[in-house]
Amino acid sequence: MTNPYVEAYRLSIADPEFFWGEAAEDCFWYRKWDRVLDNSNLPFSRWFRGAEVNSCYNALDLHVDTGRGDKIALIYDSPVTNTIRKYTYLKLRDQAALFAGVLAAQGVTKGDRVILYMPMIPEAVIAMLGCARIGAIHSVVFGGFAPNELATRINDAQPKVIVSASCGIEVNRVIPYKPMLDQAIALSKYPPERCIIMQRPMAEAELIPGRDLDWAREMANAKPQPCVPVLATDPLYILYTSGTTGQPKGVVRDNGGHMVALKWSMKAIYDIGPDDVWWAASDVGWVVGHSYIVYGPLFMGCTTILYEGKPVGTPDAGAFWRVISQHKVSAMFTAPTAYRAIKREDPKGELVKKYDLSSFRTLFLAGERSDPDTIQWSERHLQVPVIDHWWQTETGWAIAANCVGLQRFPVKYGSPTKAVPGWNLQVIGDDGNLARPGQIGSLVVELPLPPGSLMTLWNNDQRFIDAYMYEFPGYYKTADAGFIDEEGYVYVMARTDDIINVAGHRLSTGAMEEVLAGHPDVAECAVLGVADDLKGQVPVGFLVLNAGVTRDPQEIVREVVQRVREQIGPVAAFKKATVVKRLPKTRSGKILRSTIQKIADSQDYKVPATIDDPAILPEIEVALVSMGYARARN
Give the DSSP letter string of 568-595: T-GGG---EEEE-S---BBTTS-B-HHH
Phi-psi region of 279 (alpha: psi -120 to 50; beta: other; left: phi over 0): beta
Helical axes 178-187 vs 147-157, angle rounded to 10°: 50
What pTM does this model have? 0.86
Closest to 93 measured CA to CA, from 136, 59, 134: 59
Residue 451, pLDDT above cutoff 70: yes
Residue 321, pLDDT above cutoff 60: yes
- Among 31-45, 423-437, 572-586, name the one with the lowest average pLDDT: 572-586
Distance, in Å, from the CA atom of 143 to the CA atom of 150, rounded to the nearest integer, reads: 9
Contact criterion met (CB below 8 Å) for 335 and 367: yes
Distance, in Å, from the CA atom of 270 to the CA atom of 341, rounded to the nearest integer, reads: 24
pLDDT score for 632: 44
Secondary structure string (H, E, C) spanning 139-188: EEEECCCCHHHHHHHHHHHCCCEEEEECEEEECCEEEECHHHHHHHHHHC
Q: Which residues contact residue 508 at a Cβ distance below 8 angstroms, ignoring those fewer than 6 apart? A: 242, 243, 244, 245, 246, 248, 498, 499, 500
Band of pLDDT at residue 534, cut at 50, 70 and 90: confident
Band of pLDDT at residue 472, cut at 50, 70 and 90: very high
Contact criterion met (CB below 8 Å) for 241 and 479: no
Contact criterion met (CB below 8 Å) for 56 and 258: no
Residue 633, pLDDT above cutoff 60: no
Between the alpha carbon of residue 560 and those of residues 106, 259, 514, 519, the distances in Å are 41, 43, 11, 7
Residue pLDDT, tens place only, 172-231: 889 999 999 999 999 999 999 999 999 999 999 999 999 999 999 999 999 999 999 999
Distance, in Å, from the CA atom of 187 to the CA atom of 147, rounded to the nearest integer, reads: 8
Residue 338, pLDDT above cutoff 50: yes
Helical axes 16-24 vs 256-268, angle rounded to 10°: 90
Contact criterion met (CB below 8 Å) for 185 and 98: no
Residue 82 vs residue 523, higher pLDDT: 82
- Among 311-315, 380-384, 477-481, 505-509, name the one with the lowest average pLDDT: 505-509
Average pLDDT score over the chain? 92
Band of pLDDT at residue 630, cut at 50, 70 and 90: low
Give the distance between the most distant pair of CA atoms in the chain: 76
Between the alpha carbon of residue 401 and those of residues 396, 489, 503, the distances in Å are 14, 9, 20
Closest to 234 measured CA to CA, from 261, 250, 251, 253: 253
Residue pLDDT, tens place only, 85-107: 999 999 999 999 999 999 999 99
Distance, in Å, from the CA atom of 119 to the CA atom of 139, rounded to the nearest integer, reads: 14
Residue 602, pLDDT above cutoff 50: yes
Give the CATH fold of the 499-626 domain. GMP Synthetase; Chain A, domain 3 (3.30.300)
pLDDT score for 99: 98
pLDDT score for 610: 54
In which order are the strands placed within the sheet that holds 113-118?
A: 212-214, 194-198, 161-165, 113-118, 137-142, 235-241, 249-254, 456-457
Domain boundaries, the chain: 499-626
Distance, in Å, from the CA atom of 26 to the CA atom of 256, rounded to the nearest integer, reads: 12
